[in-house]
Amino acid sequence: MNGGFLNPNEIIKNVQLRSTMSACDLGCGSGGWAIPLAKQLKDGTVYAVDILDDVLSVLQSKASAQNLLNVKTVKGNIEGSINLREDYFDLVLMTNLLFQVENKSKVLELAKRLINQNGMILIVDWKKDAQMGSSEGRVSLQEIKEMSSSIGLKTEKEFVAGAFHWGLILKKL
């Protein structure tokens, strides 16, 4: 990890990837995770979801520049409605996302609906006591584990995702 900051390629190693997987990056921003994931899922597809047109446009440009034809951008509000297939994805990513949303359990329920029976949800978010970034809205690993458990998700793996973040992999019960 460089200087304790997030390295998507390292963190993604916590998940058993197959090149044919379909993944969904909720709150993808300009593609810091969608691009590295698309490179590994050569025969799969990465659906990159964000509410902001400009970041989706930047992501599409980056993907095109790197000839990544397996990135599909989707405009949607993860706390509202998104036009995506449910029970479909092998992997749903939520990185540095939960601290920004108001209704965390609603977003977890969305992720649960999106993954297929063997699918996984990878969450990476700020540690509550991290000395960087906005501390507003942060949620602890334990709180997310409890929320997840109450909606029928089980913890598959938890890990340290750098000096300032925790990581969690969830599956359907």
pLDDT at 6: 87
pLDDT at 4: 56
pLDDT at 1: 35
pLDDT at 10: 93
pLDDT at 134: 83
CA 40 to CA 18: how far, in whole Å? 8
What are the b/e assignments for 148-164, b being 16+ CB within 10 Å?
beeeebeeeebeebbeb
Give the domain ranges of the chain. 18-172
Tell me the CATH architecture of domain 18-172. Answer: 3-Layer(aba) Sandwich (3.40)
DSSP category for residue 42: T
Report pTM.
0.95
DSSP category for residue 131: S
Q: From first to last of its 173 residues, what are the pLDDT tens digits of the chain?
A: 334 578 999 999 999 999 999 999 999 999 999 999 999 999 999 999 999 999 999 999 999 999 999 999 999 999 988 999 999 999 999 999 999 999 999 999 999 999 999 999 999 999 999 988 888 899 999 999 999 999 999 999 999 998 999 999 999 99
Residue pair 74/84 in contact by the 8 Å Cβ criterion: yes
- Tally of CA atoms within 13 A in the half-sphere of 143 that contains its CB: 13
pLDDT at 15: 94
